């Protein structure tokens, strides 16, 4: 059966509806869905940061975005979190273009937007085309680089009813992350061969740029807490970080696998 996979917040919401049993998505999107009451459970991290914020001209920092226009191809709330972190008011100081129908990436390439937040393969494309320059990368710039980017979540009913299958799924994701880190060339070839990526060079660069090996090092719960707090402070969600963690996370299987997959 063919399933049309959605992206962004819609993917986390579809997970709650049971259209899919598991989905890897940004910690931000999962957090928003949990706060909205979606029956999903975050069960494991997947990898570190993969977002890059590009800008034109003399814009060299987030603070320089005051009064500017910013496009987003993925998790739009991240732009607000970046801005508020340096003291900007996202609602007053930025104009954010997020609607896919407006084609914000193309607007940025054409110079009609001052900045653009992209996720793979968009950053790789912009680098190759020499469009703009990076002012923030969630893989390298703290505090964003100190937390996971994408995390694995399951439909809560499925996780509760099928613990053995859940652990197997998590194991597969973690072993895949290890493969991406240890053998990026082979992994990129598999992505293209399987139809998951169009260009080998973009896939390879993504695998080299994204920190896949961090799942043994960073704190998964602290990642959810960090993004939930940012969302709560900005008024995006009404649930506190503690409630979001209590309602929508289960680290038991992940902790077991961390001990089992030590090497």
Instruction: Check which CATH number belongs to the domain holding 181 and give it.
Output: 3.40.190.10
Give residue 176's pLDDT: 96
Residues 227 and 100 in one domain: no
Residues 113 and 160 in one domain: no
3-state DSSP: the chain helix, strand, coil percent, rounded to 5? 50, 15, 30
pLDDT tens, position by position, 194-239? 999 999 999 999 999 999 999 999 999 999 999 999 999 999 999 9
The answer to whether residue 2 scores a pLDDT higher than 50 is no
Return phi, psi of residue 22, to 5°: -140, 150
The answer to whether residue 170 scores a pLDDT higher than 80 is yes
Residues 127 and 191 in one domain: no
Structure tokens at 261: 């997959």
Residues 159 and 248 in one domain: yes
Specify the number of domains making up the chain.
2
The residue ranking higher by pLDDT, 252 or 102, is 252
Structure tokens at 4: 């049309």
Q: Which residues does residue 96 pair with via DSSP β-bridges, in sequence order?
A: 70
Give residue 5's pLDDT: 54
Domain boundary among 102, 137, 172: 137
The residue ranking higher by pLDDT, 226 or 98, is 226
What is the DSSP pairing of strand 68-72 with strand 94-97? Answer: parallel
Q: Residue 63's domain spans which residues?
A: 52-137
Average pLDDT over residues 27-36: 93
pLDDT tier at 253, thresholds 50, 70, 90 = very high
Residues 161 and 246 in one domain: yes
Q: In terms of DSSP H, where are the helices of the chain?
A: 8-17, 27-35, 77-85, 90-93, 104-109, 122-129, 156-161, 163-182, 184-193, 200-209, 220-233, 241-248, 252-260
Residues 104 and 195 in one domain: no
Among candidate residues 17, 4, 55, 207, the one with its CA nearest the CA of residue 124: 207
In this structure, is residue 1 part of a structural domain? no
Residues 223 and 234 in one domain: yes
Range from 74-83, 186-195, 219-228 carrying the lowest mean pLDDT: 74-83
Q: What is the DSSP letter of 7?
A: -
Give residue 1's pLDDT: 39
pLDDT tier at 7, thresholds 50, 70, 90 = low
pLDDT tier at 99, thresholds 50, 70, 90 = confident
pLDDT tens, position by position, 111-167? 999 999 999 999 999 999 999 999 999 999 999 999 999 999 999 999 999 999 999
pTM of the predicted structure, to 2 decimals: 0.92
Residues 130 and 161 in one domain: no
Average pLDDT value over all residues in the chain:
93
């Amino acid at each position: 059966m063919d399933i049309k996979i959605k992206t962004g917040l819609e993917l986390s919401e579809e997970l709650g509806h049971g259209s899919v049993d598991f989905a890897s998505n940004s910690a931000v999107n999962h957090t928003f869905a949990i706060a909205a009451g979606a029956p999903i459970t975050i069960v494991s991290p997947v990898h570190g940061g993969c977002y890059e914020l590009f800008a034109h001209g003399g814009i060299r920092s987030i603070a320089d975005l005051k009064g500017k226009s910013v496009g987003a191809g993925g998790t739009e709330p991240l732009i607000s979190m970046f801005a508020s972190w340096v003291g900007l008011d996202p609602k007053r100081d930025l104009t954010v273009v997020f609607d896919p129908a407006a084609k914000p990436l193309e607007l940025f390439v054409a110079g009609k937007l001052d900045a653009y937040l992209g996720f793979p393969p968009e950053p790789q494309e912009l680098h190759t085309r020499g469009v703009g320059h990076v002012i923030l990368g969630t893989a390298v710039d703290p505090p964003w680089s100190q937390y996971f980017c994408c995390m694995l979540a399951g439909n809560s009913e499925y996780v509760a009813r099928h613990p053995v299958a859940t652990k197997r799924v998590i194991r597969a994701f973690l072993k895949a992350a290890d493969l991406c880190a240890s053998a990026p060339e082979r992994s990129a070839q598999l992505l293209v061969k399987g139809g998951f990526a169009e260009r080998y060079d973009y896939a390879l660069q993504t695998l080299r740029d994204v920190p896949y090996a961090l799942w043994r090092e960073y704190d998964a719960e602290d990642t959810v807490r960090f993004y939930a707090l940012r969302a709560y402070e900005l008024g995006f969600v009404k649930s506190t970080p503690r409630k979001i963690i209590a309602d929508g996370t289960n680290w038991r299987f992940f902790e077991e696998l961390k001990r089992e997959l030590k090497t």
